[in-house]
Structure 1
Amino acid sequence: MARGSLITSTAATTIEVVRAVDRLDAATPCAEFDVRALAEHLLTWGPSLAGAGRKESVPPREGVRVGDDWADEVEAQVREVAEAWSDEAAWSGTTHMGGPTEMPADLVGGMVLVELLVHGWDLGRASGQRPEWDDDVLEFALDEVAKTADQGRAMGVYGAEVVVPDGASTVDRVLGLTGRDPGWRP
């Protein structure tokens, strides 16, 4: 499956999850965020992630606060990100992620896909859902996280690795590498 299709598929599952979340104050597996703060995080960084797919340097939004229509806002932002990265040209050359530093576009695209998947999982678990992604998406995400996990931990983006048992599912392996406990419950 082409990378643009992978991100479109990832976004579709994440949007389904967002639509089924019913409490903004629910805890998430992402320790520093409840659902409201995680939605605000997605809306803060979404324009930068979409801009990166269009090869534009777009700063993160400041002062984002979600209201009653938060799910519509998050859905629109996730769709914009997926649209920008659905073009295979987005994955070539270099791009910016909200700042002046150029980065390999395929690295940023992988980070964007993982961001949508992991935060979709966070929102799903916060609301008692068990989101599922295509095997192609999960294998791609695992490869991307494996390449960047140490750097992500050094930057504070990922927590300490959560060791998962041999034979764990691909999604559990992705989650463990990002510092999430696949068995987390609200």
Structure 2
Amino acid sequence: MREHDLLKPALGPTLAVLRAIGPDQLDLPTPCTDLTVRGLLDHLAEWAPILAAAAGSPAAPAASLRLRDEPTELAEALTRLADAWSQPSAWAGTTTMGGGDPLPAAMVGGMALGEIVLHGWDLARATGRSPVWDAEVVAFLHREVERTAELGRQVKAYGPEFPVPETAPALDRALGLSGRDPNWTPAA
């Protein structure tokens, strides 16, 4: 698969996790140490329209950016994000994320896939689920996180690298590069 073919398969497992989150789980901790499940849903709700707009998709109205208790709307926003980055043209040239300096569109597309998979994993771990992403999606994610990890740490999108053996699965290595402990549990 080419990069633009990976967003929709990346989204499926994340949407399954999202749709299974109950109201009683919103205040659970997540591997994103400063965010509860509710906070992580808010984060996704804020960034999905911004990242979709970076791919050339019309931006969602600002009123829809806080979707903490509307998983259906958040699922729709994430679907629009995946649809936007499923266009080959979205990956060409440069783009911006709501202003700021232009970045390579391919880098931002990798970030969009990272938002879907990494935060899908965060939500899954927080709520006791075990989604499985396609091997090509995970391999691409690992390459993208490896390529942008230092920048991610500089802008505080990633924490310090968590040591993971080179023999670990690609998802675990991507998680470690992004500052996550692949064995994180709510009690940890």
Q: TM-score range by the shorter chain?
A: over 0.9
Q: Which runs of 5+ in 2 are unaligned?
A: none
**Residue 15 (structure 1) aligns with:** 15
Aligned counterparts of 1:95 and 1:153: Cα–Cα separation in 2: 21
Superposition TM-score, scaled by structure 1 size: 0.92
Moved over 3 A (4+): 58-68
**Residue 97 (structure 2) aligns with:** 97
Shift of 1:17: 1.0
Task: Note if 1:35 corresponds to 2:37.
Answer: yes
Task: Note if 1:150 corresponds to 2:160.
Answer: no
Contact 2:42 2:68 in 1 (8 A): no
Aligned counterparts of 1:155 and 1:60: Cα–Cα separation in 2: 26
Contact 1:10 1:113 in 2 (8 A): yes
Task: Indicate how the Cα distance of structure 1 residues 105 and 181 shifts in structure 2: closer, same or farther if over 3 A, else same.
Answer: same
Shift of 1:100: 3.8
**Residue 52 (structure 1) aligns with:** 54
The one-letter code of the counterpart of 1:34 is: T
Superposition TM-score, scaled by structure 2 size: 0.91
Q: Which runs of 5+ in 1 are unaligned?
A: none
Contact 1:55 1:95 in 2 (8 A): no
Contact 1:48 1:60 in 2 (8 A): no
**Residue 116 (structure 2) aligns with:** 116
Aligned counterparts of 2:86 and 2:14: Cα–Cα separation in 1: 15
Task: Indicate how the Cα distance of structure 1 residues 33 and 67 shifts in structure 2: closer, same or farther if over 3 A, else same.
Answer: closer
Aligned counterparts of 1:42 and 1:152: Cα–Cα separation in 2: 17
What is the number of equivalent residue pairs in this alignment? 184
Identical-residue share of aligned pairs (%) = 44
